[in-house]
Amino acid sequence: MKDRRLEFIQTAEKYKPEIKMERVAPVSGVPTEALKDNDSVVFDFGNHYVGYVRLHLTSVGSHQDAPAFIKIKFCEAERELHEDSANYQGWISKGWIQEEWIHVDVLPTVLELPRRYAFRYVKVEVLAVSGKYSLVIDHVEADTITSADESRLVACAGLTDAEKRIDEVAIRTLRNCMLDVFEDGPKRDRRLWIGDLRLQALANYATFQQNDLVKRCLYLFAGTADDNGRVRSCLFTEPVIEGDDTYMFDYSLFFIDTLLNYYKTTKDMDTVLDLYETAARQLEIAKESFDENHVMRDSDVLGWCFLDWNLGLNKQTGAQAVYVYSEKALIELANIVREHGSNLVIAQDIEAMKKDVVLKTEAARTHLYDEEKGLFISGENKQVSYAVNAWAVLAGIWDAGKNKEILQRLMKEDTAEKMVTPYMYHHFVEALMACGERKKAYEVMIGYWGSMVENGADTFYELHNPENPFESPYGSSIVNSYCHAWSCTPTYLMRKCGLTKENL
């Protein structure tokens, strides 16, 4: 395989999106009263935004005889206003917490904050002024950005009020993650992850249809593959384009399905011809993770395979299923390439993949399925979980009839490990649809995403466990993201898959 990474990055750069700017101000609260030590104000912008904030500050009373010392906090969701970062003891950087402590020596001034924030609320606390003067915030404004072009949006007919609200919030989530690339979350981690991209692309095809942004991201992943050809889990675009040194079994494989869906939507054959080898390489590499019985080797390394952010989840069977799912996608892609007349794929390649699908499927049936329970199990402790059963259904390890029974049993199995992210809920909904359980799929979608709307969500969250509002894999929910790309799929489920009340 020829090293074309530089060329791929150059292609990606040709599709850099135009960034659109909108100036917005809080819906109320300015100018403030004269603020003294320990006073605080919250500015509500009325919706979730991503951008750069300016505060117009002045003083009243005698001449400003001491610096104004203020703390500014940016919150995506109302609950963040009440969280105290001093209590943060999580395992990912507290640098993500959106707050600043600033001394202002001379008033009046326009305080321009250099960072980009994701916010609806801005809270200002006065830590110190002096006995001789008070601080007044005259005006607050933000230059907000997105690369989404809202003029491309068309309304979706026939939605109930609840569906309409879920659709709006989903689209707002996608819009605010559409920047230079499809970011995962504008608060955190502000980078391009392939698991998120795969779902964002689906939602984008159903809404903004900015397919060149998907193309750019595919080329970026291919251009930052490592020397062995492996696609990394995520990548950075600043200061220069660089792949992260993390890999996840399922994420590398998702390059295949993302490329296939992109082709099905755009019929852009040139991109498929450019990137087919990168896609095929992901399967070759993943194949090395099986034992002699065609069973996935398990691992206890955190994040070796993602699936969901439930930290107690065993990934073995899920990884096997994602492999089969991806191999089927690669067969589809290989057929497209062959039908086009390209010699990138020969008939034997496709035959070999078909045989491999059978081997891995049979191995899953024999070694990873518990006949007595009628459910897939995973790992040494034979764990039952929503994640691996949903993925086994999506991979078609059994036929639709048996899959339906599996999901019905799963929903009655109290000991099954639950899902904590909208990302995994999306796959569960897809699995229900795949075996004809559309009504249940609809109920899960409306119940889960609807409960975020009931919480007051303007954008959908990275994590949401209705049973535990403080759910976080990071050791504290303070660093959770409340506008997270992978949660934007209800707009796809409703618009593209017809998962609406009207269509049940």
Q: Which residues bind ligand RAM (CB under 6 A)?
A: 184-185, 189, 193, 195-196, 306, 462, 486
193/398 with CB nearer ligand RAM: 193
Q: Is 140:484 a contact under the CB 8 Å cutoff?
A: no
Which residue stretches of 182-248 are H helix? 194-206, 211-223
184/327 with CB nearer ligand RAM: 184
CB of 101 to ligand RAM, least distance (A): 26
From CA 227, how far away is CA 1, in angstroms rounded? 11
CB of 259 to ligand RAM, least distance (A): 18
CB of 223 to ligand RAM, least distance (A): 19
Name all contacts of 439-445 with Cβ < 8 Å and 24+ positions apart: 439/504, 440/407, 440/411, 441/493, 441/499, 442/499, 442/500, 442/501, 442/504, 445/166, 445/490, 445/493, 445/499
CB of 188 to ligand RAM, least distance (A): 7
CB of 183 to ligand RAM, least distance (A): 9
In the numeric block, the tokens 């459910």 are attached to 375
CB of 189 to ligand RAM, least distance (A): 5
CB of 266 to ligand RAM, least distance (A): 24
Q: Is 233:244 a contact under the CB 8 Å cutoff?
A: yes
229/473 with CB nearer ligand RAM: 473
Q: State both tokens at 277.
A: 């080898």
CB of 176 to ligand RAM, least distance (A): 14
From CA 97, how far away is CA 83, in angstroms rounded? 11
49/306 with CB nearer ligand RAM: 306
Q: Is 196:184 a contact under the CB 8 Å cutoff?
A: yes
* Residue 484, C-beta contacts closer than 8 angstroms, at least 6 positions apart: 173, 177, 184, 185, 196, 422, 459, 460, 461, 462
Which residue stretches of 340-399 are H helix? 347-367, 386-395
* Nearest by Cα to 173 from 152, 199, 140: 199
Three-class secondary structure of residue 114 per DSSP: coil
CB of 467 to ligand RAM, least distance (A): 21
195/243 with CB nearer ligand RAM: 195
192/435 with CB nearer ligand RAM: 192
Between the CA of residue 345 and those of 219, 259, 288, 348, 391, what are the distances in Å? 20, 16, 21, 8, 28
CB of 272 to ligand RAM, least distance (A): 24
From CA 167, how far away is CA 176, in angstroms rounded? 14
Which residue stretches of 303-385 are H helix? 316-339, 347-367
Which residue stretches of 95-184 are H helix? 161-177
Return phi, psi of residue 229, to 5°.
Answer: 90, 5
135: amino acid identity, one letter: L
Half-sphere exposure of 490 (CA within 13 A, CB side): 32
238/399 with CB nearer ligand RAM: 238
185/318 with CB nearer ligand RAM: 185
157/302 with CB nearer ligand RAM: 302
118/334 with CB nearer ligand RAM: 118
CB of 313 to ligand RAM, least distance (A): 13
CB of 184 to ligand RAM, least distance (A): 4
141/184 with CB nearer ligand RAM: 184
Strands (E) in 10-39, as ranges, are: 20-24
In the numeric block, the tokens 């993602």 are attached to 306
In the numeric block, the tokens 């059994």 are attached to 398
CB of 462 to ligand RAM, least distance (A): 6
449/486 with CB nearer ligand RAM: 486
Q: Is 137:26 a contact under the CB 8 Å cutoff?
A: no
282/361 with CB nearer ligand RAM: 282
From CA 157, how far away is CA 368, in angstroms rounded? 43
